[in-house]
Amino acid sequence: MLEPMPNSESPYTESAALLTSPPRPDSTEPTWFLDSDDPAIVEFAERVIADAGARTDRQKAVALFEAVRDDWRYDPYSITDQSERFRASAVLASEANWCVPKSVLLTAACRAAGIPAGVGFSDVRNHLQSEKLQALMGTDLFVYHGYSVIWLDGAWRKASPAFNRELCERFGTKMLEFDGESDALMHPYDVAGNRHMEYVRGHGSYDDLPFGQMITAIRQAYGPAVTAGVDGVVDQAFHG
């Protein structure tokens, strides 16, 4: 088995646990990855909530979801095994990112607003994947696709902020809307009726990012080159 290789200078420890229902008290607390107490995260959450005029937890979560979905362009080539780049504060400072970091940011922002939240993972097939990305990965299966899991009105709601509005319009795919009352997971078909996303296997929902577990699975699926540095690759499907 491949062993996870977190950055040696990172102070995090692999301690993510499955979420419970109802949530534990620490489901609103910061962690090394979900650094919801970082001043920039707090300011972001407060600003988004104020701009939306959100009052209830559901309204706040919806506003934060829409901000993370659209303010960070989805870029699957930004994948890395550098643990510090998965911290919510680092994601906040980025211009584009992929599903897991965007979910980490949304989860941390919810916690900054006092809303219990975690991160969930599933393996998914993207039937509309770009040729360049499929050539790099060798498959259309995305292991450990990430999404946020948010406690609202007595239930955990899943919300994937990965695909931004502009990307969906360019691909002709349906943009995910989150109402805080039901899950917002990837659509199985695009606007033309073509197969799009297929959920294959769930890996559970966690109170923190299970970084080592996730990176190990990614390396096993695609080889070490995928996490060793694909930044800078130009794929017009995502960078056009």
We report the CATH number of the domain holding residue 187 as: 3.10.620
pLDDT at 235: 53
Whether 14 is in a domain gets the answer: no
Question: Is residue 240 scored above 60 in pLDDT?
Answer: no
pLDDT at 4: 38
Note the pLDDT tens digit of each residue in 114-149.
999 999 999 998 857 777 778 888 888 999 999 999
Reference 96, options 217, 224, 240; nearest CA is: 240
Whether 49 is in a domain gets the answer: yes
Whether 11 is in a domain gets the answer: no
Note the pLDDT tens digit of each residue in 158-204.
999 999 999 888 888 888 999 999 999 987 667 878 778 889 999 99
* Inter-residue contact 126 to 92 (CB < 8 Å): no
DSSP summary character for residue 182: S
Quick one: average pLDDT of 61-79?
95
pLDDT at 202: 94
Whether 7 is in a domain gets the answer: no
Band (pLDDT 50/70/90 cuts) for residue 34 is: very high
Would the pTM of this model clear 0.85, i.e. be above it? yes
The residues facing 74 across adjacent strands are 97
**Can you read off the two tokens belonging to residue 53?**
């005029």
Share of the chain above pLDDT 70, in %: 88
pLDDT at 8: 40
Whether 163 is in a domain gets the answer: yes
Question: Is residue 5 scored above 50 in pLDDT?
Answer: no
**Pick from 10-24, 85-99, 198-212: least confident:** 10-24
pLDDT at 3: 35
Whether 205 is in a domain gets the answer: yes
Question: Is residue 57 scored above 50 in pLDDT?
Answer: yes
| Total number of domains constituting the chain | 1
- What distance in Å separates the CA atoms of residue 220 and residue 237, rounded to the nearest whole number? 26
pLDDT at 195: 76
Whether 1 is in a domain gets the answer: no
Start-to-end CA distance of the chain, whole Å, equals 38
Total count of residues recorded for the chain: 240
pLDDT at 62: 99
Band (pLDDT 50/70/90 cuts) for residue 93 is: very high
pLDDT at 19: 95
For residue 194, the enclosing domain spans: 28-224
Whether 6 is in a domain gets the answer: no
Question: Is residue 215 scored above 80 in pLDDT?
Answer: yes
- Can you tell me whether residue 187 is helix, strand or coil? coil
Strand duo 117-126 + 197-206: pairing: antiparallel
